[in-house]
Chain A
Amino acid sequence: MTYQSNRGLRGLLAAAALAAAATMPLKAQAEETYNLALLSDFSGPYADIMPILAGGREAVFTWWNETRGKELGVTLNYKNYETRYDAAQVASLWPGIKSELDPIAVVGLGGPDVAALSERLPEDKIPMFMATAAYGFAWQPDAWIFNPRPTYSHESVGFLNWMREQRGGDEPLKVAILASEASPAYVDMAKGLELYAEEHPEEIDLVEVIYTEVQPTDLTGQMRRVVRAGAEALVIQTNTSIVVAAKRGLQANGANIPIMMSSHNGLPASGGALGGLEQMEGDFEAYGMAIAADEDTPARQFYETLVADYGLEAPWNVVTAMGVSQGLYTVIVIDHAIEANGAEGLTGEKVREALFARTITTEETHGFLPSLTFTPEAPFPLEGLKVNVGTVKDGKITIEATGVDVPHVEKW
């Protein structure tokens, strides 16, 4: 479609909208409505966590509509789209999403959404907000897809430096990483850490990089190598099955090297798969998002509010936290955009501008996320990055450290 005809069509639509608005009651005129497209996977590999994640983000939209939205005179509508976690499905859904909803933002889920839409969103001028950590391969300037957390490698580097400081001494921390070639994302996680260790030999000594299957047969031999190399930490950001197999391998070797996990395969998931959280005693999970522990944090309080007043039914765990934090930074960016541009005529482009224009403070996200300052250089904030560390003490998940600084990581 050429530019000319596009304009003509828009004019026509605007006229139609005006005509429609003229016939509507006055109240509707005062209130602006915008749409959000929610990409979900209720039938694919993430079907088990999807209802919880979706519950978290939807509760936030309800909360925002009833509080801030009312003040601003804006309502956010949302609709879930089933992607089956398949890039082909996302690609075939996208034109429909555009014409049906004309969304001002997309709330995405994972890799297939990024693959299918990374070249589309800049053309259509609609930003997408993800929930997970970022990847090296998406680390490009002028992004339209954003992550509230830095890459998995940023998170592991932040954690490892914290651990080295806890240990004290001048020697680098001896680290092993367990990755898998089953998915390019898993390879990416290892590559970033490898590069950092290479450039900072005084901080991290990467003693072993082990590739295994997503459901390993036996890791006793590999874990013996890790033990013999004197590793002080084992980084596993892949999946739960590998954590379990590594744990069994370490137990067979009579060793207890602390394992660092990420959010999607963290302490509750891995502990559950091992048959008891007490077996994860002394292991860690670290990511740039609130840890769902029993402590009474602002995040916990906000969660309780959502449960009490806004119909959230999900339990307090890491998946809910992911959904809530994703919902929160999405609505706050939109909030900023409304404050900057007024409630009328909001577009995806303006939402994206608002993301770069103003920092999303940790107070605004109720402590779910650290303060986020996005720049056009990367799809995630490059400065002021923090990770939180959770661990298991006496069979319970507790917060070990909050706001651990992430050092500068070079792009790989």
Chain B
Amino acid sequence: MDPSGVFPTSYRSDRRIVRTRWQALALVLFMGLLLAAPYLVSGRIIAILNMMMISAVIAVGLQICTGYAGQINLGQAAFMGVGAYTASILASKTGLTFLLTIPLAGLSAALFGFLFGLTAARIKGFYLALTTIAAQFLFHFAVLNLPSTWLGGSNGITVPPAELFGLRFVSESSQFYLNFAVTTIMVAGAFGIVRSRFGRAFVAVRDDDVAAGIMGINVAATKANAFLIGAFYAGVGGALWAYLIRFVGVDQFTLFHSIFFVAMIIVGGMGSIVGALIGVFIIRIIQEIIATVGPNIADSVSFLGGDIVFAGMNVVLGGVIALFMILEPKGLMHRWNILKSSYRIWPFPH
């Protein structure tokens, strides 16, 4: 809901993402702060931001597939892996520039995702969601068993750093700008997708696929598209990951990683791009807190008592996710929206 006094007077203005001047100002400030971050905060924070932005790209893709189109996807880490491997192989064998490898990584992951999405023509409901787990196992099997000259097998692949006009993206801050640019494009694209014809088709299919079909939406194609877009995002995120870590191995893309991506969008809120970003932020922050305060706690508790504390940290993470789903099944974004609208319509209750 808009603040009072703001009325869209045309379809164009009704579709706007940035609706008021204050919103525009907040956005500019936020982006400006992020851009200046490498000059303001330490390398540790920049490294955390790098990891968050990469996760954000992948989680936003999952949000489109699961949150908007309603297709539970437990293969997002495998799709990310396909992207990471594509980028690594192209970069290390052909020396292609990252300007091409990143989109190509997205495309190859999209193709892999589309294959699973295609089964949507026949498979429905949970059956479809669960076939995405198969993607995870097949990816793992393929990497380890295809000739190791193809995908590196158990050796993994070492990735040369991204380079542009002789500038090597090695330091945290240079990688930050690479990730920032790609993440901005991808997130802006996501806003575009979800308010386009595709996005509305996604929501229609999620809410009721039979009704959507009657309204003239090609349900199977829409589901396949959802997987395609979700996987494209995962592939781009995977390519960024490859350029950040510069070593890819099949154990970086497991089912457990997929589950955590799902957890991120749950915490943030289903069906909201900003929600996906918030979910990434919260889960990564909790993980960083565990990693940061952990050793200090270990020092203060007696010997061998430490493992109990740390196991407790994992419970905290699981507990946060489970609690969110019980108390706030619609995610943090939902709560925020309620707060926002009650502020705007105050003093009226509705």
Contacts and interface: CB of A to CB of B under 8 A. Distances in A.
Whether the complex brings A and B within 8 Å at their CB atoms is answered yes
Interface of A: 1, 40, 42-43, 47-48, 50-52, 55, 79-84, 87-89, 91-96, 98-100, 111, 115-116, 118-120, 123, 136-137, 181, 183-185, 187-188, 191, 313
B295 A81 contact: yes
Contact of A181 (B50, B144, B306): B144
B155 interface: yes
Contacts of A181: 140-141, 144-145
Contacts of A136: 154-155
A137 B43 contact: no
Judged by DSSP, the binding face of B is helix
Contact of A116 (B245, B294, B299): B245
A89 B155 contact: no
A92 B53 CA distance: 12
A188 B306 CA distance: 33
B85 to A, nearest CB: 13
A363 to B, nearest CB: 30
B158 A119 contact: yes
Given A91-B51, A91-B244, 5 more contacts: A43-B311, A55-B303, A82-B295, A96-B42, A313-B304
A93 B144 contact: no
15 contacts: A1-B171, A81-B295, A82-B290, A84-B287, A84-B290, A84-B291, A91-B245, A92-B48, A93-B44, A94-B47, A95-B47, A115-B252, A118-B247, A181-B140, A188-B155
Interface residues of B, number: 49
B207 interface: no
Nearest to A186: B154
B52 to A, nearest CB: 9
B106 interface: no
A33 B294 CA distance: 25
A89 B158 CA distance: 19
B320 interface: no
Contacts of B251: 111, 183-185
Contacts of A99: 42-44
Interface in B300-331: 303-304, 306-307, 309-311, 313-314
A187 B154 CA distance: 6
Nearest to A38: B295
Contacts of A184: 144, 153-156, 249-251
B217 to A, nearest CB: 38
A87 B310 contact: no
A96 B245 CA distance: 16
Interface string B145-180: 100000001111011010000000011110000000
A21 to B, nearest CB: 24
Nearest to B168: A123
A173 to B, nearest CB: 25
Contacts of B249: 111, 115, 137, 184
A87 B251 CA distance: 10
B246 interface: yes
A80 B172 contact: no
Contacts of A188: 154-155
A368 to B, nearest CB: 21
Contacts of B153: 184, 187
Given A91-B47, A92-B288, A51 B247 contact: no
A42 B51 contact: no
Contacts of B309: 42
A137 B295 contact: no
Contacts of B172: 95
B90 interface: no
Contacts of A137: 154-156, 249
Nearest to B148: A191
Nearest to A312: B303
A87 B44 CA distance: 15
B47 A51 contact: no
A187 B144 contact: yes
Max chain B CB contacts within 10 Å: which of A51, A83, A88? A88
B256 to A, nearest CB: 10
B195 to A, nearest CB: 32
Nearest to B157: A137
Contacts of B159: 119
Nearest to A96: B44
A47 B51 contact: no
A88 B159 CA distance: 16
A183 B154 CA distance: 8
A79 B294 CA distance: 12
A79 B295 contact: yes
